[in-house]
Structure 1
Amino acid sequence: MQTRHGFTLLTLQEFEQWIVQQRVGRTVLTLQQHHTWSPGYRQFNGSNHFDLQLGMKRHHVTNNGWADIGQHFTSFPDGTIMTGRSLEQVPACIKGQNAHAICIEHIGNFDTGGDTMSAAHRATIVGMTASICRRFAIPVNSDRVVYHHWFDLDTGARTNGAGTTKTCPGTAFFGGNKVGHAEQGFLPLVRQTLGGVVSAPLPTTVRYGVVKADTLNVRSAPAANAARRNVVLAGAILRIHDERDGWFRLSAANDEWVSARYVQLVERATVNSDVLNVRNGPGTQFDKLAALSRAQEVFVHERRDGWCRIGQESRWVSLSYLTFA
């Protein structure tokens, strides 16, 4: 394990141990798969992991105007893995789909005729995907483990590859970049690594809340003078397992508490129609901003006249097409 420029390089075995130890306050629902296209295998010389990662960060910050590197993790042709953006921050990877997501970038061009994925890289992509799904209880299916190619670049709507899209993570990525390719060539390998089990389902008593403060300390006990264990950021959706004396507990297994004063309760729901338009106000007379697809999960911040606000900003959907947990 090596650390440089704020990044840490790990083997797959180190990553598997490291990820279970990470305290993450925000709720993670989906895992995004990407390839870098450039840099690719030709730019990797076996020892320039940190240089390539730093180069991507500089491009994302300077050219794209982002606050940090876009992805949470990067995998390399030799099977190693490097950390990137903080896990408490949403990624900057798929327009309109970054909330509640973790993003992986795989070094290489995995379009047909591009780089041939090494055996070590292949094993790591499967293994790290399995480890992340296990850690965050992400079901291994094509609703929750997603490819960039499945989303329209202009609207962020899920099109499963129709419209204006990237080929990412590559037309030859584990057999192809379509939903069927993922379900036949990639996801079964992840399930096999997990032994067919991700984790026990969350208890039905779990509630959800959104962080209202710019930053919110996570403490080891329900008290302002308790040791600080973590910091969660504005807009993060938190799982609430217990409430005591004005404090919310974020973990069923660990003592992780935040002040309820800075958390607003929200409702978790699932889209029950093939397409659900997102509008900039509570009514069909308002402009369409994007579209959600069946089985996508959202968090409702406000209900008004048969409409639900699904973000801190003005993003509204019809109540009729949501099923609440």
Structure 2
Amino acid sequence: MTTKFGFTLMSIQEFETWIDARQLARTVLTIQEHHTYSPAYTQFNGSNHFALQQGMKNYHVNANGWSDIGQHFTTFPDGTIMTGRSLEKSPACIVGQNANAICIENLGNFDSGKDAMAPAHRDTIIRITAKLCKRFRLPVNTNSIVYHHWFDLSTGERNNGTKNNKTCPGTSFFGGNKVADCIANFLPLVTQAGAPAAPVNSANAVLKYVSVTASSLNIRTKPDASSPKATDRDAAALGAILRVYKETNGWYKISGSQEHWVLGKYTTDVKRATVKADTLNARSGPGTTFQKLGSYTKGQELFIVKEQDGWCKVNMDDRWVSKDYLVFA
């Protein structure tokens, strides 16, 4: 591993060990697949990983006005992986779809007739996706693994590539960028690489879920304010969904395996729900008269922070959906 500019470059083997050792407060439900488009393979010379990553960060911060580089990970043609923004923060990669997601930017332009994906790159893309699915107990399906192409650029509505979409992650990305291409060509490879084909339940039962309401929430080693902060993980960020395994005197234990605690007054309870309609419209308020802002698809998981008159507010998104089309865990 090599670290520079705050980024860490590692092999896929190193990544697989590294991610297992990471402690993450934020709940992850989705893995996003992207291609950088630019820089493409012609900009990669085999040794300029950090320069390219820093260039992307500069563009994201200075041109887009974002707080950091948009993606959590970048994969390179030689099969290496580089870290990006903190895993405790949502990515800035798909409008309206970034909550509870991890973003992978695969360096290159994988539209037809452009970059031919290198074998080492192909192997790493499959393995990083499989490892993230396994690490965060995500089933291998098109709700857990999504392509940028499937979402409207302006609203984030999922339309599976039918209107106002980028080609990302490329029209030749593992045989194509459509949902059917993903199901036929990419997901089987992810499953073969060791990812679970169905949801995997944790050995430790989750008591409830909460959303962080502070701009940054310290994680401590005991349920009291005088105890030391945990040194092996970042603070939890605003809007992060935390899993609560135990409650003691207003403190929440957020790890199933370690003594990691947060003060409950800086969180609010949320409910985990699954969309049961083929398409569920999201609106700007609790009713059909409010503006449509996008939609969710069958099987997609949401966290609900408020209920009103048969409508549910999706955590931190200012979007409302009808309760009639949700199944609560």
Q: TM-score range by the shorter chain?
A: over 0.9
Select between 312-321 and 191-200 the one with higher mean Cα deviation: 191-200
Aligned residue pairs total 325
Amino acid at match of 1:51: A
Structure 1 residue aligned with 2:70: 70
Q: Once the two structures are aligned, what percentage of the paired residues are identical?
A: 55
| Partner SS for 1:228 | coil
SS of equivalent residue, structure 2 residue 219: strand
Aligned to 2:255: 251
RMSD: 1.4
Is 2:277 the partner of 1:273?
yes
The whole-number CA distance in structure 2 between the counterparts of 1:56 and 1:192 is 32
Deviation at 1:102, TM superposition (A): 0.2
SS in 2 for 1:208: strand
Name the counterpart of 2:237.
233
Residue 122 of structure 1 aligns to a residue in which SS? Answer: helix
Code of the aligned partner of 2:270: V
Q: Secondary structure at the match of 1:8?
A: strand
User: Quick one: distance in 1 between partners of 2:168 and 2:126?
Assistant: 17
Look up the match of 2:21. Answer: 21
Distance in 2, Cα, partners of 1:243 & 1:90: 26
Which deviates the most, 117-126 or 312-321? 312-321
Q: 1:204 to 1:106 in 2, by over 3 A?
A: same
| TM-score, normalised with respect to structure 2 | 0.95
Deviation at 1:205, TM superposition (A): 4.3
Match of 2:209 in 1: 208
CA-CA distance at 1:173 after TM superposition: 0.8
Unaligned runs of 5+ residues in structure 2 are none
Moved more, 197-206 or 78-87: 197-206
Q: What letter corresponds to residue 217 of structure 1 in structure 2?
A: N
Match of 2:185 in 1: 185
CA displacement 1:133-186 (0-9 Å, x = unmatched) = 111112111111010011111221111111111111111111111111111111
Listed as ranges, the matches of 1:146-157 within 5 Å are 146-157=146-157
The code of the aligned residue for 2:215 comes to D
Task: Give the structure 2 partner of residue 5 of structure 1.
Answer: 5
After the TM superposition, which residues 76-225 of structure 1 pair with which residues of structure 2 at under 5 Å, given as runs? 76-194=76-194, 196=196, 200-202=200-202, 205-225=206-226
Q: Which runs of 4+ in 1 moved over 4 A?
A: 195-199
Q: 1:295 to 1:74 in 2, by over 3 A?
A: same
Uncovered stretches (5+) of structure 1, i.e. residues with no partner = none
Q: C-alpha distance in 1, partners of 2:199/2:155?
A: 33
Where does residue 262 of structure 1 map in the other structure? 266
The residue type paired with residue 25 of structure 1 is A
- Residues 183/283 of structure 1: CA separation in 2 closer, same or farther (3 Å cut): same
Deviates more, 1:267-276 or 1:188-197: 188-197
> Is the partner of 1:298 in helix, strand or coil?
strand
Moved more, 96-105 or 195-204: 195-204
> 1:96·1:156 contact (CA, 8 Å) conserved in 2?
yes
2:134/2:196 contact within 8 Å kept:
no
TM-score in terms of structure 1 length: 0.97
Cα shift at 1:200 = 3.4
Q: For 1:199 and 1:165, how far apart are their aligned partners in 2? A: 29
2:317 and 2:46 map into 1 onto residues whose CA distance is 44
What secondary structure is seen at the aligned counterpart in 1 of 2:218? strand
Decide whether the 8 Å contact of 2:211 with 2:241 is kept in 1.
Answer: yes
Aligned residue number for residue 309 of structure 2: 305
Whether the 8 Å CA contact 2:205–2:245 is kept in 1: the answer is: no
Cα 1:92–1:205 shift into 2, 3 Å: closer
The separation in 2 between residues aligned to 1:313 and 1:206, in whole angstroms, is 24
Residue in structure 1 matched with residue 324 of structure 2 by the alignment: 320
Whole-angstrom CA distance in 2 between matches of 1:213 and 1:85: 19
